[in-house]
Amino acid sequence: MTRVLVPVADGSEEIEVVTIVDVLRRADAEVALASVMKTLRITASRGVIIEADCHIDSCVGIHWDLIALPGGMPGAEHLHTCAVLKDLLANQLSSGFWLGAICASPAVVLGRQGLISDYRATCHSAFVDELGAAVRELSDELVVRDRNLITSQAPGTAMNFALALVCCLFGEDTAQSVAEPMRATLN
């Protein structure tokens, strides 16, 4: 079973959270939605209440095929300050397993932690200066894949991002079979 960790926090962008989880579960990934807050119940960036499956502390010592970070503010700030998550992210990249980040998270989480200085990446337009100083190359593409890192720009690119994650984990045929009934297209 392919295992995916999606960390969430108060202020995470709900479109990104739900799209990532939904699309990966349609591909039959085992997705754990993990709160980095004190409670499992988080209030997303637009006031939507999301109930996480578990707390981030229970995710240590588990092999994750992918860790996918939603953006949103101050959600990305909360993800950035979580020491447990920081260790998981550093291990994920150094082990060569997939890491995804969208919206503010490429800059606020990965860039500030110095994890992606040798990568090409993209992010939300509000964070391009910060990300540009933290990566090898800043891209204006909607979704960017560089080795084991996939980044994307904003809530409007969440479907493209989620399908790119499926493509990396399961291949293009599976991504196409997930996209087709939703009338989504692969980039």
Active site residues: 103
Give the strand pairing for 143-146 and 149-152. Answer: antiparallel
- Partner residues linked to 66 by β-bridges: 4, 98
Q: How far apart are CA 143 and CA 150, in angstroms?
A: 7
| Structure tokens that stand for 148 in this block | 């084991």
Q: How many residues does the chain have?
A: 187
φ/ψ of 121, rounded to 5, equals -155, 170
- Partner residues linked to 6 by β-bridges: 33
Give the strand pairing for 137-138 and 120-121. Answer: parallel
Q: How far apart are CA 99 and CA 93, in angstroms?
A: 7
Residue where the block lists tokens 């980040």: 101
- Spatial contact of 50 and 41, defined as CB atoms under 8 Å apart: yes
